[in-house]
Amino acid sequence: MSSSKQFQFPKDFIWGTATSAHQTEGNNNNSDWWQWEQSKDYKNPTREYPLDPSGIACDSYSRYEEDFDLCVKLNNNAVRISIEWARIEPKEDEFSESEILHYRKVLESAKSRGLKTFVTLHHFSNPIWFAKKGGFANFKAPQYFAKYAKKCSEEFGDLIDKFATINEPQVYALQSYTNGTWPPNKVNPFLSLIVQLNMIRAHKSAYASIKSINKDYQVGLVKNIVWYEVETLGFLGIDKLVSNFLTFLGNRFFLVPISKNLDYIGLNYYFTNRIKWFKTQNPNDRVTDLGWWINPKGLENVLLSLKSMNIPIYITENGLADSKDALRKDFIEDMIKACAEAINNGVNLKGYFHWSLLDNYEWHHGFWPRFGLVEVDREDGLKRKPRPSFYYYAKICQTNRIGLSVYTSVP
């Protein structure tokens, strides 16, 4: 039989929500993503993606105070946002004072509401000038990025609690240089490898440049990690080798080289893939609108796999596309239970950010995947409408605890 007990999170545990600049701000017209979006004729499409242009997105560039008020209603004590490189440095070596002032106002607005600020410096989009130089495929990319990171630390460091240099570098490399789905739409696995190696160098360079301004600034990197598990009846143990290899590529291949240049790890976890007969064959008993298998145990397993790095961990993204809000409450409950189990097993987990605060521009998929705790009604002036799951998450953030099932034998 089972009973329930309450797991109390540490008093200083971080509860937040996450967004990114290009996905929410709107009119990011000096970026490679904006340029790519405009290059498609939507009346006579010549290619499948992107399904929509970002346009005004959620207009969070103007409505950030309204969005931070929602964070307060969620009982969040932190918010994760990003700064758009294409706005800060629209031309090489030319920094925009008006945009610097804008982002200072954004950060001051968050801080005035008692929200700690976790700020990402690169979240997939690049300035057009940088993209024209080859982006992260250019051997000099780490120098360009470090200069931008240093400027951000000079201008915003007093308002940032945690810097994250790069969001999901391997996802960026895969989508932009292996699959060719995102700009610059290259299908070149060798170039993808070069980009990943340059992003390792870029993180190290940015870490050093930020620390040169203030050695006490906290700097990490946000890494998406998929958990790979093996079907029990896998093929002669080879599936286990495949799983181990994929786990290495998606985890330690990138993290080990930068391990001495991390004050914390930001973990983005969305799904698990089960390997059987060399292929992904998931049970798909519960899936998101994007078809991703929901497996909370995978989150616990990823957290345990990071334990040996001996640095703080923050879950910087965890969420699901669920337009009807039918699965989100149970998803949140089960994922946070997995966090509690990981902490019980010695993982130094310091915080959880749900993705996302708002329905937003989901990159090449456009606007149809709905990740938001808050619906953004695109037919009604982008009106923010909290979903039922919003209030469930708010209660967890307020109480700082979650119920865990305890199994006992029947005499």
CATH code: domain of residue 298: 3.20.20.80
> Whole-angstrom Cα distance, residue 353 to residue 307?
19
Element at 340 (helix H, strand E): helix 328-344
Per-residue pLDDT, 409: 38
- Count up the domains in the chain and report the number: 1
Backbone φ and ψ for 42, nearest 5 degrees, come out as: -75, -15
Per-residue pLDDT, 233: 60
**Conformation bin of residue 266: beta by default, left when phi > 0, alpha when psi is -120 to 50:** beta
Task: Residue 348: name the closest of 272, 263, 225 by CA.
Answer: 263
> Whole-angstrom Cα distance, residue 341 to residue 347?
9
> Whole-angstrom Cα distance, residue 108 to residue 115?
10
Per-residue pLDDT, 276: 86
Residue ranges of the chain with per-residue pLDDT less than 70 = 1-4, 232-236, 405-411
Do 338 and 323 contact (CB within 8 A), yes or no? no
CA-to-CA separations, 272 to 226, 254, 355, in angstroms, rounded: 6, 19, 17
Q: Residues 182, 306, 257, CA angle at the centre, nearest 5°?
A: 65
Chain mean position to CA 353:
9
pLDDT tens column, 148-189: 999 999 999 999 999 999 999 999 999 999 999 999 999 999
pLDDT tens column, 229-249: 987 665 668 888 899 999 999
Q: Please give the structure tokens belonging to residue 322.
A: 């669920």
Residue 355 DSSP code: E
Contacts of 302 (CB under 8 A, 6+ apart): 225, 227, 267, 269
**47: containing domain:** 2-407
Instruction: HSE, CB side, 13 Å, CA atoms: give it for residue 189.
Output: 0
* Helices and strands in the chain, H and E counts: 14, 15
